[in-house]
Amino acid sequence: MPDRGGGPTGPRIRVGRPSRRVRTLLMTLGVLAVLAMLFVMFAGFWTDWLWYRSLHYSSVFSTTLRTKIGLFFVFGLLMATAVGINIWLAHRLRPPLSAMSLEQQSLDRYRMGIAPFKKWVLLAVTALVGLIAGASAAGQWRIWLLWVNGVPFGQKDPQFHKDVSFFAFDLPWYRFLLSFGFAATVLSLIAAALVHYLYGGLRVTSPGARATAAATGHLSVLLGVFVALKAVAYWLDRYGLAVKSSDFKATGNWTGLRYVDANAYLPAKTILFCIAAICALLFFATLWRRTWQLPVIGFGLMVLSAILIGGLYPAIVQKFQVQPNEQAKEAPYIQKNIEATRKAYGIDDSKVADYKGESKADNKSLRADADSTASVRLLDPNVVSPTFQQRQQVRGYYGFPSTLDVDRYKTKAGADQDTVIGLRELNIAGIPERNWINDHFKYTHGYGAVAAKGTSTTRNGLPDFTEKNLPAEGEFDAYQQRIYYGEKTKQYSIVGGPQKELDYSGNNGDEKTYTYTGKSGVSLSNPMNRAAYALAFGEPQILYSGAIGDGSRILYNRTPKERVEKVAPWLTIDGDAYPAVVDHRIKWIVDAYTTTNGYPYASRTTLGDTTADSLSDGERSVVAQQNKVNYIRNSVKATVDAYDGSVKLYEWDTKDPVLKTWEKAFPGTVEPRGKISDSLMEHFRYPQDLFKVQRELLTRYHVTNPAQFYSGSEVWQVPDDPTNKGNSVPPYYLSMRMPDQKKQKFSLTTTFTPNDRDNLGAFMAVEADAKSSGYGTIRLLKLPPNTPVSGPQLVQSLFNSNPKIAESIRLLKGGDSTVEYGNLLTVPLDGGLLYVEPVYVRGAGTDYPLLKKVLVSDGGDRIAFEDSLEKALDVAFGQSPSGDPTKPPADSGQTPSDNPTVRQALKDAQKAWEDSQKALEQKPQDWDAYGRAQESLKEALDKAAKAEQKAAGRQSGTQGQKQNQPQSQGAPGKGG
């Protein structure tokens, strides 16, 4: 019989050894491969260190790296030790002799094969599991730092009366430790069982006992540890109920305890904890009793209890206690969920006021108040980017973002002016000749800001630029115009060396050159740095190119979002960084958030979905380490200098415990709020992504009564963008006055419609001016549930179906021109509402939009479609009858209204429009009838147009144009 370590020996087969030369070659290649691998690893580490040091945030790099290394080694060693000790112990407890059986004889060959390499196998197995465990633990550096540095919230959950920090900071770490313990126990159990089986401690087919006493004791202890950990899991699961997500028909996504959780699952978890603890003791008792009988019975009882107590009993409670009177049973828990959710998302102080939605004021008063209520922004930043591009691009290698930004700047008179602004950034795709030198040495930066008034345009419909041309000139004070860091700047550049950069091209075509003088980037004067970056960027020319010399610096990670993310990896970054000219510099302003998904009872939301709308794209998508959150604060305002790339983080929410925790973990990285200059504060605004999250929650959580919340009768929805189907309407910045305000405030606004309906449900605005004492105040104007006031979709339909407006739009589209609708803005006005929508025409020969018309409506009978906002307001409120689309001005000769065919066609069109409105008012809306009415409307308009053309043919050319005017509401615009 084979002994416990070796077995019978047999004839050895000699294998030819490789020659000394081959061994030397193989050893050299191995050493070179190891050195190359080490240098690749070193290059990544070294370039990261240099980048953080260049920004003076090396403490972030060192703290993060130190934490990751510490977790890697501690938990890697713990796992390796646990598995290694159990393998060693199983080997030591092997029986001295193996039983004579076919099973053991087949295992002999494996024992003989392993015998010479037992130590190496042990080291290899423990090293492998240690590396995997260490790498997994290193990825948990955030929850470790939160646990170590956690700051109390000063708020307690309503069920367990523990501080919120326990659920946000402590519980995630305890769960990680528990999962690590389970992994270590299971791996140790598997490894020990295999060793016992290999050396005869466990038998499957051999006669006699299936396990030796030593193997029984060893494995039972491991099983006891596993069951003990399960007991701890049951205890932590009790607290986990406060942050557990589930489906609830009243809210959809629910977080926190419900009636069945508090009255069935919670006591069940406590009972199961006790049972598991007793079962674990029974497993440990096998060290003395040497029998599996009691622990197996205990384990079976635990499993049965888990099924009956943890599964069946809660189902019975839900079926027979909750469902017959669910609203009454769930009311206290719904109330807790409402209060926690509103507090977690900062919407608990929202000011809700009832609003009629229909004004009782006369037309004259409404017209007078329309000017003071809001500075309506006609320049849509999502539409006019091609116009900026066409008029201010100057050279093909410059470009503007597809969506511009809205900010405020002082006029020469000192008043605030809503401004649309964009930077003339480098567009690498437009470089005339693409090569390595041009891409990375010559074309390195953009040049200048371009800004236009948001509330007006020129007579031709062009933006009224307040800052323009190259170099830029206008109302801004002198500033550093070169843009080395921007949203479109994603390639690396090497600057400051012997190779001159293109600064800009003058009016006569001569090229101005420039050498970067900033301190940004990493120096390439050091050969080691050049080698590291050549490897990091996969570009060997960096190592030997003559274009790199003394003073050369490499700039990379150049988008504002990317820079803030890297220096503050614990922040969630807003999707829209926006530029501002501040203190003679261009600064990118980046809003950043602290988040957690561990706020008890607060419902979770998915940031990526909540912040998506018709303006979001790959560049403006919110970035989050954890996409599902149930707590968010705009705790940090960050700036990135467009010239030198310097990053500043400023504390904004001084009470946020999550920010305070991260400040303890990374001391000195966030500057106090008091260091924000007044000139910079003027350009801070309420962030869009936070507003989108809050408005999504307010669709349900504007209701604070549990019974009403449960019924869902007051649920709202964010309406679809009427000009961009399939996407929700984005929020809009504009200066406006809410009913309880005395003057206009720079605000961020949106609308709501009742669920599955298109009439207006509510209007929401938040004060967005950071210098205002009311900054961040959310105001909700709640309309009556059955209000006849139209929402955005119905207003757009009203515009589209008006016969005379539709005919004017048709004429504007003539000559291969296209019509684009701008932002549909909503403004409260004297108890009613005012809708304003700019209409742009993209002429066939211009290929960029020009503002040609303005649509105005109160959502009812007042409607106008004119060349300017002032004229449209006059017409809508009856102050200019000559422009009233329902009352064409008198004219000499025959007009379309004198033509009986045209009159009949217009009557048919009016009836078709009324039919379409009736179809929309049906519950549910009759879209088939609406489609038929729209077809009838088109036929009537075509008939009127043909009759008009025949009438025009019998008049002179000038007279014919006059005849067209009443039908198209004035001059149809040059695009027509």
Q: What is the 3-state secondary structure (H, E, C) of 773-798?
A: CCCCCEEEEECCCCCCCECHHHHHHH
**Cβ neighbours of 372 (radius 10 Å):** 10
pTM of the full structure: 0.84
Tens of pLDDT, residue by residue over 515-544, are 999 999 999 988 999 999 999 998 999 999
**pLDDT confidence tier of residue 930, bands split at 50, 70 and 90:** low
Please tell me the predicted confidence (pLDDT) of residue 214. Answer: 86
Q: Which H helix or E strand runs over 748?
A: strand 745-754
pLDDT higher than 80, residue 339 = yes
Which pair of tokens denotes residue 820? 């684009």
Please tell me the predicted confidence (pLDDT) of residue 529. Answer: 92
pLDDT higher than 50, residue 822 = yes
Distance between CA 503 and CA 711 in Å, rounded?
64
Tens of pLDDT, residue by residue over 854-878, are 999 987 778 899 999 999 999 988 8
Please tell me the predicted confidence (pLDDT) of residue 310. Answer: 85
* Cβ pair 661, 149 in contact under 8 A: yes
- Ramachandran class of 491: left when φ > 0, alpha when ψ lies in -120 to 50, beta otherwise: beta
Please tell me the predicted confidence (pLDDT) of residue 50. Answer: 95
Please tell me the predicted confidence (pLDDT) of residue 790. Answer: 85
Region 64-87: what's the mean pLDDT?
Answer: 95
Which pair of tokens denotes residue 347? 């919407």
**pLDDT confidence tier of residue 103, bands split at 50, 70 and 90:** low
Q: Which of 472, 497, 467 is nearest to 483 (CA)?
A: 472
Region 502-526: what's the mean pLDDT?
Answer: 87
pLDDT higher than 80, residue 625 = no
Place of tokens 């009537």: 940
Please tell me the predicted confidence (pLDDT) of residue 105. Answer: 58
**pLDDT confidence tier of residue 52, bands split at 50, 70 and 90:** very high
Please tell me the predicted confidence (pLDDT) of residue 837. Answer: 92
Residue that wins the pLDDT comparison between 517 and 914? 517
Tens of pLDDT, residue by residue over 441-463, are 999 999 999 999 999 899 888 99
Q: Per DSSP, what are the bridge partners of residue 497? A: none
- Ramachandran class of 405: left when φ > 0, alpha when ψ lies in -120 to 50, beta otherwise: beta
Q: Which residues of 401-419 are buried (b: 16+ CB within 10 A; e: fewer)?
A: bbbbbbbbbeeeeeebbbb
**Cβ neighbours of 924 (radius 10 Å):** 7
Phi, psi of 594 (to 5 degrees): -100, 135
**pLDDT confidence tier of residue 208, bands split at 50, 70 and 90:** low
Q: What is the CA 492 to chain-centroid distance, rounded?
A: 26
* Cβ pair 425, 400 in contact under 8 A: yes
Residue that wins the pLDDT comparison between 931 and 867? 867
Give the chain's mean pLDDT.
85
Region 103-132: what's the mean pLDDT?
Answer: 76
Region 98-126: what's the mean pLDDT?
Answer: 69
Region 320-324: what's the mean pLDDT?
Answer: 90
Please tell me the predicted confidence (pLDDT) of residue 298. Answer: 83
Please tell me the predicted confidence (pLDDT) of residue 972. Answer: 30
Q: Which residues contact 423 (CB under 8 A, 6 or more apart)?
A: 400, 401, 446, 448, 449, 450, 483, 486, 579, 586, 642
Please tell me the predicted confidence (pLDDT) of residue 209. Answer: 56
Region 611-617: what's the mean pLDDT?
Answer: 66
Q: Strand, helix or coil at 613?
A: coil
**pLDDT confidence tier of residue 246, bands split at 50, 70 and 90:** confident
Please tell me the predicted confidence (pLDDT) of residue 449. Answer: 95
Please tell me the predicted confidence (pLDDT) of residue 203. Answer: 72
Residue that wins the pLDDT comparison between 223 and 910? 223
Cα-based angle 783, 786, 790 (whole degrees, multiple of 5): 70
Q: Which residues contact 309 (CB under 8 A, 6 or more apart)?
A: 268, 271, 272
Please tell me the predicted confidence (pLDDT) of residue 17. Answer: 60
Percent residues over pLDDT 70 in the chain: 85
Region 46-61: what's the mean pLDDT?
Answer: 94
Which pair of tokens denotes residue 281? 């003791």
pLDDT higher than 90, residue 155 = yes
pLDDT higher than 70, residue 706 = yes
Region 807-834: what's the mean pLDDT?
Answer: 87
Q: Which of 923, 946, 922 is nearest to 933 (CA)?
A: 922
Please tell me the predicted confidence (pLDDT) of residue 670. Answer: 96
Which pair of tokens denotes residue 848? 């960029």
Cα-based angle 806, 808, 811 (whole degrees, multiple of 5): 110
Region 100-119: what's the mean pLDDT?
Answer: 64
Please tell me the predicted confidence (pLDDT) of residue 357. Answer: 85
Region 49-64: what's the mean pLDDT?
Answer: 95
Distance between CA 56 and CA 484 in Å, rounded?
18
pLDDT higher than 50, residue 887 = no
Q: Which of 535, 543, 527 is nearest to 37 (CA)?
A: 535
Please tell me the predicted confidence (pLDDT) of residue 970. Answer: 33
Percent residues over pLDDT 90 in the chain: 52
Place of tokens 């029998």: 291
pLDDT higher than 70, residue 104 = no
Tens of pLDDT, residue by residue over 303-314, are 898 899 888 999
Distance between CA 177 and CA 171 in Å, rounded?
10
Q: How many residues does the chain have?
A: 976
Region 183-192: what's the mean pLDDT?
Answer: 95
**pLDDT confidence tier of residue 337, bands split at 50, 70 and 90:** very high
* Cβ pair 433, 410 in contact under 8 A: no
Place of tokens 């953009």: 446
Please tell me the predicted confidence (pLDDT) of residue 95. Answer: 79
Please tell me the predicted confidence (pLDDT) of residue 963. Answer: 35
pLDDT higher than 70, residue 384 = yes
Q: Which of 428, 463, 471 is nearest to 447 (CA)?
A: 471
Region 361-388: what's the mean pLDDT?
Answer: 89
pLDDT higher than 60, residue 668 = yes
Please tell me the predicted confidence (pLDDT) of residue 492. Answer: 95
Tens of pLDDT, residue by residue over 759-799, are 899 999 999 999 999 999 999 999 987 777 888 888 888 88
